């Protein structure tokens, strides 16, 4: 009896210490195979944000645009090569998504220490978490163990990524299709507390919407002409108050009708998310906790695990067979 009890304890200890089972993500996935992974990513991210703080917002967006197309599989990183068509040329991504070079640098630094071990998909997830934290937001344990896709889908990128002109019902449906709740939608939209958007994405809002603060609309019109094709790429901060600090000012902007995108302001426009927006606007701790939980949930969208996919040597191309 004592012997079997000892054996059971040994098996339990092995189970607890072992990496995550195939098909399951775990923050300790690389505890043995690449124990310094977190330090390498953090050090590279600090250098990247010292060079350009805006890059943090870009890397959070990169994670979102990856996970919403085929799941969190680094498909967005694949370049168009020969007959292979990736997602970078899709409408929501082209001349818009940034940060590929930072992911390349993190991957190179990780490969130098742990060659062939860490996926590009996991690096994207870690970079998004570190971006949030280094700009003043919450941190969280990132479940790891994703593998990289060998495919990409420009058509899904065009259909599944919501437009900045989306109404609330469309947003709730798009997020619901990925297993994310309306609360997740509202929390994740808070990533717009940092970063910038192009004039072509908010022109309709500042010239056509009526639920907008007049002084805010006038401010944005100064650098975003009404004529389509004029100043399309001109940038404006998504958060007019603290554009490079991860805080809850985004929600205070919405309450004051100063959301930059139409898809921002619909979260506070007499609809189902108004009460939550008000809560977040006065309770930064609640927003931080919900944002972290929603980022983990988004990171669990259809990951490739076990023997599915591959660990790319170069995040931009599928490994040659």
Residues annotated within a binding site for Ca(2+): 66, 69, 71, 73, 75, 87, 193, 239, 242, 247
Secondary structure E strands in 203-267: 235-237
Give the residue numbers of the binding site for heme b.
Answer: 192
Between the CA of residue 88 and those of 77, 156, 209, 228, 249, what are the distances in Å? 7, 12, 30, 23, 31
- How far is 19 from 140, CA to CA, in rounded Å? 19
C-alpha to C-alpha distance for 271 and 285, rounded to whole angstroms: 23
Give the contacts of 142 (CB within 8 A, at least 6 positions apart): 27, 122, 125, 126, 129, 296, 299
Query: Residues at the annotated binding site for substrate?
Result: 162
Active site residue 65: yes
- Cα(first)–Cα(last) distance of the chain, in Å? 52
What's the distance, CA 119 to chain centroid? 16
Query: What are the tokens at 172?
Result: 């709730």
- Of the candidates 61, 65, 88, 252, the residue annotated as catalytic is 65
The C-alpha torsion from 77 through 320 and 71 to 85, rounded to 10°, is 60
State the Cα–Cα distance between residues 16 and 11, nearest whole angstrom.
9
Q: Which residues are annotated binding-site positions? A: 66, 69, 71, 73, 75, 87, 162, 192-193, 239, 242, 247
Give the catalytic positions in this structure: 65
């Amino acid at each position: 009896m004592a012997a079997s009890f000892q054996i059971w304890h040994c098996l339990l200890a092995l189970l607890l210490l072992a990496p995550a089972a195939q098909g399951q993500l775990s923050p300790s996935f690389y505890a043995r195979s690449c124990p310094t992974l977190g330090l390498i990513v953090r050090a590279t991210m600090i250098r990247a944000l010292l060079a350009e703080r805006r890059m943090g917002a870009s890397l959070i967006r990169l994670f979102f645009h990856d996970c919403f197309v085929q799941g969190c599989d680094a498909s967005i990183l694949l370049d168009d090569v020969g007959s292979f068509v990736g997602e970078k040329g899709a409408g929501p991504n082209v001349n818009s998504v940034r940060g590929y070079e930072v992911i390349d640098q993190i991957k190179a630094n990780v490969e130098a220490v742990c060659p062939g071990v860490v996926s590009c998909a996991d690096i994207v997830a870690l970079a998004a978490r570190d971006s949030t934290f280094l700009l003043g937001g919450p941190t969280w344990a990132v479940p790891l163990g994703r593998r990289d896709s060998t495919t990409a889908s420009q058509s899904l990128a065009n259909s599944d990524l919501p437009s900045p002109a989306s109404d609330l019902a469309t947003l709730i449906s798009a997020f619901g299709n990925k297993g994310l709740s309306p609360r997740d939608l509202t929390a994740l939209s808070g990533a717009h507390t940092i970063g910038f958007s192009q004039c072509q994405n908010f022109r309709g809002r500042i010239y056509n919407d009526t639920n907008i603060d007049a002084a805010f609309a006038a401010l944005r019109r100064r650098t975003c002409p009404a004529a389509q094709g004029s100043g399309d790429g001109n940038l404006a901060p998504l958060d007019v108050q603290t554009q490079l600090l991860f805080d809850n000012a985004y929600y205070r902007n919405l309450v004051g009708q100063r959301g930059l995108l139409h898809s921002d302001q619909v979260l506070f426009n007499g609809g189902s998310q108004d009460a939550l927006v008000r809560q977040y606007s006065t309770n930064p701790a609640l927003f931080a906790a919900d944002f972290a939980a929603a980022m983990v949930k988004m990171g669990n969208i259809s990951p490739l695990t076990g023997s599915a996919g591959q660990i790319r040597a170069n995040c931009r191309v599928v490994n040659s067979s």
